[in-house]
Structure 1
Amino acid sequence: MALFADRRDAGRRLAAALTPWRGTDAVVLGIARGGVVVAAVVAHELGLALDAVVVRKLGAAGHEEFAVGAIADGVRIVTPGAVRWAGMTPDDVARVETAEREELMRRTDAYGSRSADLTGRTAIVVDDGVATGASALAACQAVRTRNPAQVVLAVPVAPDRWEAPADAVDEYVCPHREPDFWAVGQYYDDFSQTTDTEVKALLRGDLAAGR
């Protein structure tokens, strides 16, 4: 049996670690797509507003689940060590980025993200977990451009050796920091892919959508 039954279970447990923000004017921003399921539960449990932030991972050639970087609105992160490990050239990275930028724009339009006014508010960026951290940091940097008072990165599980850089995140909340971490999905009994339809339903307030 894994640590979490599904993303909704993870959201309930993450919400318990975020009670200082209950009933405040903070905004919960789920990293689309799977992170929106977790974020929707957190927002519901704490009585907070919900929005999405769209990020696209730049996957390694032949190992697409391994991120060599990530992109978000106005943000580009590339990890040189990961690029070298993957044996990718700058042209390889550029080709992946071009394709992912198209999908980034499509999802941003589809979800209507960036609708919440973050000026002077706490932005709680939520995902279903951290592996390399590239997607989470891209999301936090994109959110930072919207002038929040502070950026909080909150995830239910992450490698115990990973820490959020202070220049990207004001506070990092992770109730389960695991020593033998190899993939986020290993900690979920159900880690099914979240669909566009589910994300849209969650953002409309349908908490039953998504797994």
Structure 2
Amino acid sequence: MIFRNRTEAGRLLARALNAYRGKDAVVLALPRGGVPIACEIARYLGAPLDLLLVRKLGVPSQPELAMGAILEGSPPIVVRNENVIRQEWIPGTKFNAVCEKELAEIDRRRRIYLAGRLPMNVAGKTVIIVDDGVATGATMKAAIKGLRKREPGRIVVAIPVAPADTASELRLLADEVICIDEPVVFGAIGNFYDDFTQLSDDDVIAQLEDLRSSSARSGTA
């Protein structure tokens, strides 16, 4: 399936999440790409939106190749992709250096996007984690494992597209995975969008501001 853009993907996912409409759910977006999709879902469900700040740990010589992921927290949650680490001969010093770099980016994003506001309390709530797609699943796995420590009542992963095998792996970690397309042959997430323009910080801030404004007008803020 080819999505026109992230907005269309978000609207399709929102309808697939109809069972959570009006429920005590929280939508958590993985920025940047997950934000437009999560905004559509939050509007449709009438649910609050927060960001889940998690970063892929890319191999230094091949940043797109994930050797793990890291999620904000005290302490941060780190998920290692041991197969990649062994294959690429990544020493502990290099791995730790990438962790520190991505933690600094996580801190920057919380300051820029949310003015340093602490993460929303999700204890006992249904949490819907949203991204614009999943490839290896390292980032989403870190998100799920980290969220478990915040004791939500239920974790739902909502994504437009993921490889069939990765979606199966996520179902072992989350309580539910809603994925519109699960191809066996995958390639890259961008292959499943007509418009997969990379988003800037200003794009994310604008999306969040627009959601806040529309929620205030409708009385759901």
Fold shared per TM-score above 0.5? yes
Contact 2:170–2:177 (CA<8 Å) still a contact in 1?
no
Mapped pair 1:149 → 2:161 = no
- Show structure 1 runs of 5+ residues with no match: none
Range moving further from structure 2, 139-148 or 174-183: 139-148
Residue equivalent to 2:23:
24
Q: 1:188 aligns with which of 193, 204, 212?
A: 193
Number of residue pairs matched by the alignment: 207
SS in 2 for 1:82: helix
Distance in 1, Cα, partners of 2:199 & 2:19: 29
SS in 2 for 1:169: coil
Distance in 2, Cα, partners of 1:44 & 1:104: 25
Residue equivalent to 2:141:
137
Q: 4+ residue stretches of structure 1 with deviation over 4 A?
A: none
User: Which is richer in helix?
Assistant: 2
Mapped pair 1:178 → 2:198 = no
1:24-76 alpha-carbon deviations (Å, 9 max, x no partner): 12011000111111111111122221111111110112221111100011210
User: What is the CA distance between 1:166 and its match in structure 2?
Assistant: 5.7
Letter in 2 for 1:52: L
1:92-139 alpha-carbon deviations (Å, 9 max, x no partner): 212211211111111122222644221211000000111010111112
Residue equivalent to 1:44:
43
Residue equivalent to 2:81:
79
Letter in 2 for 1:83: I
SS in 2 for 1:96: helix
Range moving further from structure 2, 30-39 or 89-98: 89-98
Contact 1:8–1:38 (CA<8 Å) still a contact in 2?
yes
Residues 29 and 107 of structure 1: CA distance in aligned 2, closer, same or farther (over 3 Å): same
With normalisation by structure 2, the TM-score equals 0.86
Identical counterparts, % of pairs: 39
Task: Give the alignment's Cα RMSD to 1 decimal.
Answer: 2.0
Residue equivalent to 2:173:
168
SS in 2 for 1:174: strand
Contact 1:61–1:86 (CA<8 Å) still a contact in 2?
no
- Show structure 2 runs of 5+ residues with no match: 214-221
Letter in 1 for 2:201: D
Contact 2:163–2:183 (CA<8 Å) still a contact in 1?
yes
Contact 1:51–1:203 (CA<8 Å) still a contact in 2?
no
With normalisation by structure 1, the TM-score equals 0.90
